């Protein structure tokens, strides 16, 4: 497959488990809170700069639907939206259009394994199959509380149906009981089940890991086991993508890059709903990881409800009027 994304990036192969690396981890909660405040208060983009950053944010979205009531119909609608994420007339007012080779589309569609085929068929029909990634959650999402054999089979099923990105969930109990070696082995097997082509994002479910030290350690283990991305949350925990988690995970990504030489991506997910949230996350990535990470190969938003707010904001920018609540509803 020749997906637009990931073409230039050397993938993280993982490395041998190094438990000594984990022993030195100490996260300072006050300093992390302070950093989060600093980042939030430094976001002050206006007018065309704000609009440009919001368009950038759109290209980093994994447009997500993970509902028990998902059907072919709503997945197909989401795929249409992924291909043309901003309303045509609004885009025209911003001075752009969906001409051939327009780069404006979301990075991926993210669905349950049973809906991967719906996404693949729709994207094929629209001529976007190799332009928009198909991400499938797997491994007993969201809890991860299933036998390993079943979790691995789920990955293989999603890949067979056409997913080229797999968002696995880790078994949080292994973190909470300090079974790092087992966690490493499980994630390695998951990576193997993804096969050579599908990229793996490891969802840490940070809101359920107890401490920031655990978030850092789980990030390191996921990267040592070969994850292409580490992702904060499923969107189903009671605490999802906080800036504090983003800061801690970014530090782990940076340290891994410095030590091993591989760039691992970051995907905050869960509760990211507003344009201001999107700009804050982009600022965090710029400050913590640098410009190299500000593209869909290394940064994604997992979001079901962000795109609509970005459209409203862009509408307000070009017209000077507030959008009516029903005007931009999807995504
Ligand atoms: O992986 C993506 C998340 O499930 C999205 O969460 P959200 O519905 O809160 O945006």
**If you measure from the C-alpha of residue 303 to the centroid of ligand 1, how many angstroms do you get, rounded to a whole number?**
5
In a domain, 141, yes or no: yes
Q: What is the pLDDT of residues 178-193, one digit of tens each?
A: 999 999 999 999 999 9
Distance CA 233, CA 225 (A): 19
pLDDT for position 2:
38
pLDDT the model gives residue 3 = 43
What's residue 99's pLDDT?
83
Of 106, 234, 330, best ligand 1 pocket probe by most atoms within 8 Å of the beta carbon: 234
pLDDT of residue 24: 87
Structural domains counted in the chain:
1
State how far Cα 313 lies from the chain centre: 22
The bridge status of strand 165-169 relative to strand 133-138 is parallel
Per-residue model confidence (pLDDT) at position 123: 98
CA torsion, ordered 156, 194, 57, 271, to nearest 10 deg:
60
Residue 282, domain CATH: 3.20.20.70
Work out whether the CA dihedral 292, 295, 232, 239 comes out positive or negative: positive
The CA distance from 316 to 313, in Å, is: 5
Let me know if residue 11 belongs to a domain.
no
Q: Which helix (H) or strand (E) holds 173?
A: helix 172-176
Pocket test for ligand 1, best of 57, 108, 233 (most atoms within 8 A of CB): 233
Distance 270 CA to ligand 1 centre (A): 4
Q: Is residue 124 situated within a structural domain?
A: yes
Q: Whose CA is nearest to atom 8 of ligand 1?
A: 304
DSSP SS3 for 43: coil
From ligand 1's centre to the CA of 64, what distance in Å?
6
Atom 3 of ligand 1 has which residue's CA nearest to it?
235
Does 24 map to a domain?
no
pLDDT at 188: 98
Centre of ligand 1 to C-alpha 233, Å, is 8
Which residue has its alpha carbon closest to ligand 1 atom 1? 302
Distance 25 CA to ligand 1 centre (A): 29
Residues flanking ligand 1, CB < 6 Å: 64, 66, 110, 234-235, 269-272, 302-305
* Regions in the chain scoring below 50 on pLDDT: 1-4
Residues taking part in catalysis: 167, 231, 267
* Residue 98 and residue 127 in contact, taking contact as beta carbons nearer than 8 Å: no
The pick from 304, 306, 307, 330 for probing ligand 1's pocket by mutation, whose C-beta has the most ligand atoms within 8 angstroms, reads 304
Rounded to 5 degrees, φ, ψ at 60 are -105, 5
pLDDT of the residue at 325: 65
Helix locations, 13-164, DSSP H: 19-23, 29-41, 47-59, 72-83, 88-93, 116-126, 148-161
Q: Specify if 229 maps to a domain.
A: yes
Cα–Cα dist 129/1, whole Å: 10
pTM: 0.95
Note the pLDDT of residue 328: 75
Domain enclosing residue 254, as ranges: 29-319
- Tell me what pLDDT residue 116 has: 98
Full 3-state SS string of 177-238: CCCHHHHHHHHHHHHHHHCCCCEEEEECCHHHCCCHHHHHHHHHHHHHCCCCEEECCCCCCC
Instruction: Tell me how far CA of residue 177 lies from CA of 38, 114, 154, 172, 182, in angstroms.
Output: 33, 32, 25, 9, 11
Closest protein CA for atom 7 of ligand 1: 270
Residue 124 pLDDT = 97
Q: Would you say residue 234 lies in a domain?
A: yes
Closest-CA residue to 249 (of 223, 275, 271): 223
3-state secondary structure of 271: coil
Is residue 16 domain-resident? no
- Asked whether residue 6 is domain-assigned, the answer is no
């Amino acid at each position: 497959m020749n997906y637009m994304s990931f073409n230039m990036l050397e993938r993280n192969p993982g490395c041998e488990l190094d438990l000594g690396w984990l022993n030195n981890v100490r996260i300072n909660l006050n300093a992390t809170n302070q950093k989060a405040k600093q980042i939030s208060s430094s976001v002050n983009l206006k007018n065309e700069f704000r609009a440009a950053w919001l368009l950038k944010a759109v290209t980093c979205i994994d447009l997500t639907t993970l509902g028990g009531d998902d059907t072919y119909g709503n997945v197909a609608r989401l795929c249409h939206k992924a291909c043309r994420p901003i309303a045509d007339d609004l885009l025209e007012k911003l001075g752009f259009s969906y001409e051939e080779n327009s780069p404006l589309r979301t990075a991926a569609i993210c669905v349950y394994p049973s809906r991967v085929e719906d996404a693949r068929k729709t994207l094929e029909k629209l001529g976007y199959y190799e332009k928009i990634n198909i991400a499938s959650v797997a491994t007993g999402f969201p809890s991860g509380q299933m036998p390993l054999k079943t979790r691995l089979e789920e990955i293989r099923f999603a890949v067979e149906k056409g997913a080229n990105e797999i968002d696995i969930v880790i078994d949080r109990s292994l973190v909470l009981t300090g079974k790092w070696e087992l966690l490493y082995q499980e994630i390695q097997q998951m990576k193997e089940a993804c096969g050579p082509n599908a990229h793996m994002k490891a969802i840490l479910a940070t809101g359920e890991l107890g401490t920031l030290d655990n978030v850092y350690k789980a990030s390191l283990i996921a990267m040592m086991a070969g994850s292409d991305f580490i992702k904060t949350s499923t969107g189903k925990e009671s605490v999802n993508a906080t800036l504090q988690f983003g800061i801690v995970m970014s530090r782990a990504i940076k340290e891994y890059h410095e030590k091993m030489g591989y760039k691992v991506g970051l995907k905050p997910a869960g509760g990211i709903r507003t344009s201001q949230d999107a700009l804050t996350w982009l600022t965090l990535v710029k400050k913590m990881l640098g410009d190299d990470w500000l593209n869909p190969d290394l940064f994604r938003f997992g979001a079901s409800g962000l795109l609509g707010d970005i459209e409203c904001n862009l509408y307000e920018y070009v017209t000077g009027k507030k959008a009516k609540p029903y005007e931009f509803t999807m995504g």
